[in-house]
Amino acid sequence: MPGTPRDITSHAPAPPHGRHGGTVGARGTTGTGGAGPPGRREFGALAGLALSSPAGCGLRPATAYVPEVAPGSITPIDGLPAGASITVTGKNFTEQLILGKIGVIAATAAGFDVVDLTNVPGSVPARELMTSGEADMSWEYTGTAWLTYMGQTEGIPDQTEQWEAVRDMDEPAGLTWLEPAPLNNTYALAVRSDAVDELGGISTLSELADLPIEERTLCVEAEFNSRADGLIPLLETYGIPRDDPDGVPEDNISIYDTGAVYTATARGSCNFGEVFTTDGRIESLDLTVLEDDLGYFPAYNVAAILNTSTLETYPELADVYDQVTPVLTDDALRTLNLRVDENGELPADVAFEFMVEQGFVTKP
């Protein structure tokens, strides 16, 4: 049976701060903070990485800690001028903090003096640092750029097509998108892993229609439940319309506060819960993500973006970040995000250990 709506007994974190950094949720932004995917707690309270406001753009990290770095497979660029400097920026939710530090560490290993402008509060300020030329490098999500910065109304589910679209549209802005990572931080439905066999070995969203109606129970957040591109069109796409006796009856849907969906799904309050694909709780609560086999959800692959003029000056930077991008997967970031969100580790330490494990850098 579905769980109690607006459940307050689960161990949900504080309201998450999603990749978009806005306050309107998954596919838009109105400023700082945000309730959109992924379900990440803002890291400022965890590590005290507040921003100060000196002259210039007004965004300077109070601390910009990264461990000391020695070369690995990433080595200093031949002929790099002494004092060559680049500025790396990024947003202030867990995944972006980790990716930002990966960007800093990679550039440091390549021989640059790096100005660390990660931990920027919100997508729009981070974007403005890139478009103004005050920052040289960031990691961005294709869907965020397309829907938030470029003002498009519908995402492109095909990951390659979505990346190509933002790459081409950002070229006149003086920004170059490098190849996208496998990481695709988008919406998904997940099931507790120990229930998969009980539910016929389900692995795709299309297979929801094969289940008995009483097993099509869903836990979702209020926003996903009501938004025009959320639950209702998802169920229609997969042939199990909402509030239809042959689809998903209204009583099968439970609405939970932000963050509580994960624990409700894990404890069996429903069979399927709305999640974000790189959230560490998928791993810690042993949930299994169902494949979106009809491509309903837009693509949100992450990619390194470089200021085009910076890349023209230092073309070797593309090779530096192209080494890192292929290992940025959903599974990898779930593990790294979990270490920060639940274990309380610093993003810089988590990023550094990951880079060492991958052989990109070494410990001095």
pLDDT score of 263: 96
pLDDT score of 35: 29
pLDDT score of 80: 96
pLDDT score of 183: 97
Rounded Cα distance between 321 and 323, Å, is 5
Rounded Cα distance between 128 and 125, Å, is 5
Return phi, psi of residue 86, to 5°: -135, 155
What is the DSSP pairing of strand 272-276 with strand 187-192? antiparallel
pLDDT score of 257: 86
Residue numbers of the chain with a pLDDT score lower than 70: 1-63
Coarse DSSP helix, strand, coil percentages of the chain, rounded to the nearest 5 percent = 35, 20, 45
DSSP 41: -
Q: What is the pTM (predicted TM-score) of this model?
A: 0.80
pLDDT score of 301: 97
pLDDT score of 33: 30
pLDDT score of 235: 97
Q: Closest Cα to residue 147, out of 260, 227, 231? A: 227
Residue 274 class from Cβ within 10 Å (0-12 exposed, 13-18 middle, 19+ buried)? buried
pLDDT score of 63: 56
